[in-house]
């Protein structure tokens, strides 16, 4: 090792030591500043107080739903969104709870943010001077601390839905997969709920209309139509079995009233049922 090398190494070593000492001092100052800000900042104290008033639900960021098809045929025919709605409806209680928690979190988070943003710094140049922290450093530290302790609510829950079919020996696997954010799957869920409600309502309506079909009404329709099929004219004497038909089907809002009823033979009625929704 020659002299030049020794000098060079000494210089590098000295620089490194100086740098380390310098960094240490800076870090020490930084820690001291932070401690002062933590103690003195009314903004930090106010944010801590605010945090005590809020309590957000803990929401898992992601959920998984899987539907395993029993055959390739079922997989091919599977209605992806229909299946998703079906599975969600099966777990209605769970998803109702989840939706409620996310929506409460969203409302609370909005309120929290409003109050958080309203909290102002109250430190003055004079304060900073007394506490021996440069004013701009105080403000910076204060902002950083507040940002760090600011509460963050879980406001989304991504639902991953997978429809899968694996052939018996596991040779082939077919899959369709899609992710839905909270607002998307909530939409599907609400639509499915509404569809189920409509279906129940429709069934009730059909039952109501059926109950209105009394023997009296039936006889009055037959007599008005002269006991003849209103399409082919057949009568009981021709061996026809006469039935009372809703001209506008109950499924389309047709009522059980004379004006919407007609006599049809069984054959013609079957023919009509094929053209319209059966009622």
Using rule CB under 5 A, residue 146 touches Zn ion: no
Residue 229 binds Zn ion, judged by CB under 5 A:
yes
Handedness of CA 208, 211, 217, 218 (dihedral sign): positive
DSSP alpha helices (H): ranges in the chain? 3-40, 42-53, 72-77, 80-90, 92-118, 125-130, 135-149, 182-212, 215-224, 266-275
Q: How far apart are the first and last CA of the chain?
A: 105
The residue among 105 and 263 lying less far from Zn ion, judged by its C-beta, is 263
Task: In whole angstroms, give the CA distance from residue 101 to residue 84.
Answer: 21
| CA 27/CA 18 separation, integer angstroms | 14
Vertex 9 angle, CA 6 and 15, to 5°: 140
Nearest distance from C-beta of residue 167 to Zn ion, angstroms? 51
Report the alpha-carbon distance of residue 101 to residue 124 in Å, rounded: 41
Q: Are 151 and 112 in contact (CB under 8 A)?
A: yes
Between 46 and 234, CB nearer to Zn ion: 234
Q: Does residue 140 touch Zn ion according to CB under 5 A?
A: no
Contact pick of 231, 243, 260, 272 for Zn ion (by CB under 5 A): 231
Q: Quick check: 265 binds Zn ion (CB under 5 A)?
A: yes
Q: How far is the CB of 236 from Zn ion (least distance, A)?
A: 12
The residue (of 65 and 231) whose beta carbon lies closer to Zn ion is 231
Q: Considering only 59-67, 140-148, 161-169, 262-270, which stretch makes contact with Zn ion by CB under 5 A?
A: 262-270
Q: Which residues, 6+ apart, have CB-to-CB distance to 271 below 8 Å? A: 231
**How would you class 220 by CB atoms within 10 Å of its CB: exposed for 0-12, middle for 13-18, buried for 19 or more?**
middle
Closer residue to Zn ion (CB): 142 or 245? 245
The stretch near Zn ion (CB under 5 A) out of 100-108, 143-151, 249-257, 266-274 is 266-274
The window from 7-15, 151-159, 244-252, 268-276 that contacts Zn ion (CB under 5 A) reads 268-276
244 binds Zn ion (CB under 5 A): no
Is residue 232 a contact residue for Zn ion (CB under 5 A)?
A: yes
Side-chain-side CA neighbours of residue 8 (13 Å): 5
Task: Single out the segment in contact with Zn ion by CB under 5 A; choices: 32-40, 220-228, 244-252, 267-275.
Answer: 267-275
Q: Does 268 bind Zn ion (CB under 5 A)?
A: yes
| d(C-alpha 150, C-alpha 112), whole Å | 9
Q: How far is the CB of 274 from Zn ion (least distance, A)?
A: 14
Please state the closest distance from residue 259 (CB atom) to Zn ion, in A.
20
Residues that bind Zn ion (CB under 5 A): 229, 231-232, 234, 265, 268
């Amino acid at each position: 090792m020659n002299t030049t090398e020794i000098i060079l190494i000494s210089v590098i070593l000295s620089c490194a030591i100086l740098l380390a000492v310098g960094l240490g001092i800076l870090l020490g100052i930084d820690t001291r500043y932070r401690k002062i800000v933590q103690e003195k900042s009314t903004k930090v104290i106010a944010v801590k107080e605010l945090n005590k008033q809020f309590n957000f639900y803990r929401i898992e960021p992601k959920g998984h739903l899987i539907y395993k098809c029993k055959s390739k045929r079922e997989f091919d025919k599977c209605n992806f969104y229909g299946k998703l709605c079906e599975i969600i409806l099966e777990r209605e209680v769970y998803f109702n709870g989840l939706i409620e928690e996310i929506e409460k979190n969203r409302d609370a988070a909005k309120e929290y943010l409003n109050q958080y943003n309203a909290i102002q710094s109250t430190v003055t140049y004079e304060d900073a001077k007394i506490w021996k922290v440069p004013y701009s450093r105080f403000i910076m530290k204060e902002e950083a601390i507040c940002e760090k302790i600011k509460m963050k609510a879980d406001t989304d829950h991504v639902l991953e839905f997978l429809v899968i079919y694996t052939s018996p020996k596991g040779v082939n696997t077919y899959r369709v997969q899609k992710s839905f954010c909270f607002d998307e799957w909530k939409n599907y869920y609400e639509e499915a709920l509404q569809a189920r409600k409509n279906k129940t309502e429709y069934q009730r309506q059909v039952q109501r209309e059926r109950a209105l079909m009394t023997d009296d009404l039936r006889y009055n329709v037959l007599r008005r139509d002269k006991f003849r099929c209103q399409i082919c004219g057949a009568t009981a004497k021709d061996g026809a079995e006469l039935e009372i038909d809703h001209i506008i089907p109950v499924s389309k809002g047709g009522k059980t009233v004379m004006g919407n009823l007609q006599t049809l033979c069984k054959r013609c009625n079957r023919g009509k049922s094929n053209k319209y929704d059966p009622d």
